């Protein structure tokens, strides 16, 4: 099986030439393009998620001999979550080579975090099946690059940190309220308010509810710190 010129260029970007090109073709084929004769990347995504997890756990374990499990766990989560995978996908132009059905094409699938993150995991699995764990690990470490060393010392997500802040002061958990939604259906923009029972709140806007909630929580934490 021969790869298209686009996929040959993609091989160069990820630093791996496939002995079995069909694996790469399958890795970039979304379920919206599947058929009885064309496999999609969902099973590869399942495997790639586990390979990525092992590589990141190994890297964090080796990279900081003094880190406790409580410190490594949030760093791990920050490196393997869908947003991190989607960022890597954008760096390597994965969205440009995805094979999508019409429905996903129209709805902006090439830009969706979930779709891009899943596809990165499928590519990881394809490399693992094509050349083994060492090749997959080398590619992952290369593509994640400085993200691994620069992951925040305390990588707890902002919502968790804000909830712990409130609990420590015997307050009710923060609430997240959607105050506005704009943009087209395929690319909505959400404005979320993070609120405490004291009346303190902060607003943030992003392309997904989760991102907006995280940004609002981060902004509220910063306001609380500055008001000390």
**Which residues are marked as active site?**
49, 121
* Alpha carbon distance 114, 82 (integer Å): 6
What are the residues facing 224 on neighbouring strands? none
- In the sheet with 175-182, reading across from the earlier edge strand, the strands are 175-182, 189-195, 201-206
Residue 179 is classified by DSSP as E
For 138, how many CA atoms within 13 A lie in the half-sphere containing its CB?
A: 9
> Nearest CA to 116 among 78, 84, 77?
84
* Alpha-carbon gap, residue 78 to 150, rounded angstroms: 11
């Amino acid at each position: 099986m021969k790869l298209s010129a686009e996929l040959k260029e993609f091989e160069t970007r990820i630093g791996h030439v496939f002995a079995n090109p069909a694996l790469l073709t399958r890795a970039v084929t979304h379920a919206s393009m599947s058929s009885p004769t064309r496999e999609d990347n969902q099973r590869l995504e399942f495997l790639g998620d586990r390979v990525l997890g092992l590589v990141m756990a190994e890297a964090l374990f080796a990279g900081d001999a003094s880190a406790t499990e409580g410190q490594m766990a949030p760093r791990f989560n920050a490196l393997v979550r869908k947003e991190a995978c989607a960022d890597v996908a954008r760096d390597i132009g994965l969205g440009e080579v995805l094979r999508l059905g019409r429905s996903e094409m129209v709805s902006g699938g090439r830009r969706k975090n979930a779709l891009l993150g899943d596809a990165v995991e499928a590519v990881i699995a394809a490399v693992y099946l094509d050349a083994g764990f060492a090749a997959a690990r080398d590619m992952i470490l290369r593509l994640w690059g400085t993200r691994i060393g620069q992951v925040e010392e305390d990588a707890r997500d902002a919502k968790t940190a804000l909830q712990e802040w409130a609990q420590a002061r015997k307050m009710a958990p923060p609430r997240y309220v959607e105050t506005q939604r704009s943009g087209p259906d395929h690319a909505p923009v959400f404005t979320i308010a993070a609120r405490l029972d004291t009346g303190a709140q902060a607003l943030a806007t992003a392309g997904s509810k989760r991102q907006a909630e995280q940004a609002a929580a981060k902004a509220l934490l910063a306001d609380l710190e500055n008001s000390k």
